[in-house]
Structure 1
């Protein structure tokens, strides 16, 4: 772990393009999403139904909860349609030499999202 809280979680190749991979960091479920050449990290729990977001579809910069269809913006964690009304926390991501690193800590200038440690 670095002083900014980044930890290596997987190889980039393990995350399917336009798909998601579930990982756990310090008992926190995290959804790693790869789309459009970028990697995003969000809490892997729907804020509406508390099911794994990694089981849903990734499209148009969102991940869709498979149970009730709420979609969450990959950059902000904000829901883009009902029934979810609360955002999910997002986390900082770095890709270094083909490895994905995630920090659960807010970065400089970041606003903490609900449930952010």
Structure 2
């Protein structure tokens, strides 16, 4: 079973914001989209650079280098030059704290 990693307090991640955390050497971006938290791998499938640093538009993150957009709720690539989705991860909120886990190897 994957270990849950604390991302931070819910008050530090208000709607429309995001942060990135390292989980076992994988950068995971955690987003607050309308009060619901989602997590995707913090990597653009077009050029493998970080997605964080880009603007969040509704529930989409815009890659800061080439403008590819990804749906943070599903990981789906929405616009070129990215065509492949990014990995998604489970998120849980408990006692006012946000947690994420990399469950790919379970």
TM over 0.5: yes
Aligned match of 1:101: 99
Structure 2 CA distance for aligned equivalents of residues 69 and 26 of structure 1 = 28
Alignment counterpart, residue 13 of structure 1, candidates 11, 19, 23: 11
Structure 1 runs of 4+ aligned residues shifted over 4 Å read none
| Higher mean C-alpha displacement, 4-13 vs 92-101 | 4-13
Structure number with greater CO (CA < 8 Å, separation at least 6) is 2
Give the root-mean-square deviation of aligned CA atoms: 1.5
Aligned match of 1:112: none
1:40 match: secondary structure = strand
Q: If the length of structure 1 is used for normalisation, what is the TM-score?
A: 0.81
Shift of the alpha carbon at 1:4? 5.0
Structure 1 CA distance for aligned equivalents of residues 58 and 16 of structure 2 = 10
Aligned match of 1:40: 38
What 5-or-longer segments of structure 2 have no aligned partner?
none
Report how many residues are paired.
105
1:84 match: secondary structure = coil
